[in-house]
Amino acid sequence: QDHLNLSFIGNRYDVLPSNINLVKNYEIVSGREEDYRQYKELEEFAKNNDFAVAENYEHFCEMVDIDSLIDYYCAQIYFANSDAYINNTALWKSRIRGQGEFEDCKWRFILFDTDESDSIFYDCADKDSFVEGNWMGVNPDTELYFSNLSNNPEFRARFRERFRELLENDFSYERIEPIITQFENTYTDPMVRSVQRFGIPDFSREQYGRNVQTVRDFFRRRGEYIST
């Protein structure tokens, strides 16, 4: 529920808002023409260069925090987010170099608005989110950055290793299930009252429990499917 703006990025990464170039859904938040030009340079480079060529890939890694990008796509793919890539996109960089860790003028991707994921509307635990599932038909295999980067063997190896690491740790069911249970215990009553007030007057705790179980089942099955 955070408002994704310059102040949010500045507080999170200890960068002055005046030194932040934030792109949200392909619009420059600052409104500066120079900030838009900086983003278009990244986009045009990805469109017009073959990342199978080592020099092009290396230059892209000078423009982008590649670890940020990899984590972003790992998350979108694992969560089977059906509303991503050409919608709900955001990335940011420092406008000029500074002394801070994140003031290196490299673009970093931001994950937000993942409410259409985790089997919330239909069972997508067995969805091959590399090539299908997006509402707008743009999946990672055709999306600008990921599809081009996938032509580079160094990127593919780095992506596979990071995905494996996340599956064994952050994305593991053993880690996630207690978090789901904690949220269920904390929010069942207010969520049920909210649904009753704004949508379904006779909505029950049992119905909410079934909804939570759907999400729990997604994470229980997802790791084994996506790793194969």
SS3 readout for 101-119 = CCCCCCEEECCCCCCCCCC
- Residue 167: what residue type? L
57 touches 35 (CB < 8 A): no
The rounded distance, in Å, linking the Cα atoms of 118 and 115 is 8
Confidence of residue 120 (pLDDT cuts 50, 70, 90): confident
CB count within 10 Å of CB 148 equals 21
The rounded distance, in Å, linking the Cα atoms of 35 and 33 is 5
Instruction: Give the pLDDT of residue 182.
Output: 97
**Residues 6+ away with beta carbon under 8 Å from 51:** 57, 60, 148, 149, 151, 152, 155
Pick the closest to residue 187 from 215, 156, 160, 167 (CA basis): 215
Strand, helix or coil at 92?
strand
Residue 22 DSSP symbol: E
Instruction: Kindly report, residue by residue over 49-87, the tens digit of the pLDDT.
Output: 999 999 999 999 999 999 999 999 999 999 999 999 989
Confidence of residue 2 (pLDDT cuts 50, 70, 90): confident
pTM of the model: 0.94
